[in-house]
Amino acid sequence: MSPELPRRATGAAAIGPAPDLPAWRGTRPRKAWRYVGIYGRELMLCAGLVRIGPAPQAFWAVWDRRDRVLRERTRFAGGGVALPDGALRVRAAGVEIDLRLEADGEPVAVSSAHGRREIWTRKQPVRAVGTVRLDGRALPLDERGLVDDSAGHHARETAWRWAAGVGRTPDGRALTWNLVDGIHDDPTTSERTVWVDGVPARRRPVRFSEALDGVAFREGGRLAFDAEAVRERHDRLGPLTSDYVQPFGTATGSLGDGIELAQGFGVMERHEARW
């Protein structure tokens, strides 16, 4: 493991492939995932591809805020979800998603120690443009969100709380946030970031409420979150377990350091895993 951990890079220094982490470190398999979340006034959606050693997982979800319908699916196999660089595509019964993803801010990459091993993540604000088809109904989409690329040899037991979303200040500046406790959360060199018009600013450690209805900042202020629809899974696959709750919803309040949020859209998450 590199003695220089943790380290953080932004902009051009954060662009490029994940570190060359081997498939195994002793008995610890490499975990890797790409998650794309798009958070809008009428539609919120996410899609992900996960691999734990040789075991794949694919998932997607669409929260239709107009009709108040949550559609979702998780498969422990490939197929149905494609997340190449710059695109998000989903094919499932009654759901087709075709989106082009464009950078909407400077990426931030962080490498950290987790247990005795190295883990890495990169967060990239994006704008998604394209079409979501629900039961044959075509819905144009032009909204913002976040891409999470992560990889590493995480500790056997891992737990985190996470929040991501987009919105605007009262005077119209674009906001994106990525807040975490439990992973890549060094007091000074973490992935905690708030982007204002695409420019990233670090945040000191944050405190999540037990009910996942808020995040308090050491810089002052609190983000309030109102859940609308909840993704929740409890998986037991031999020695692997995963328990998570991830609500879609709206946000108001502050993002710390005097940054006020008029209204925002995003997710909160609590995840506990043994892998």
> Across residues 250-259, what is the average pLDDT?
97
Phi, psi of 9 (to 5 degrees): -135, 150
Q: SS3 of 12, please?
A: helix
Tell whether the model's pLDDT for residue 25 goes beyond 60.
Answer: yes
Q: SS3 of 144, please?
A: strand
Alpha-carbon gap, residue 79 to 184, rounded angstroms: 30
Cβ neighbours of residue 126 closer than 8 Å, sequence gap 6 or more: 36, 38, 101, 102, 103, 104, 144, 145, 146, 147
Q: SS3 of 275, please?
A: coil
Tell whether the model's pLDDT for residue 95 goes beyond 60.
Answer: yes
Tell whether the model's pLDDT for residue 169 goes beyond 80.
Answer: yes
Whether 194 and 176 have beta carbons less than 8 Å apart is answered as: yes
Alpha-carbon gap, residue 190 to 270, rounded angstroms: 18
Average pLDDT, the chain: 95
Q: Which residue has the tokens 């913002």?
A: 144
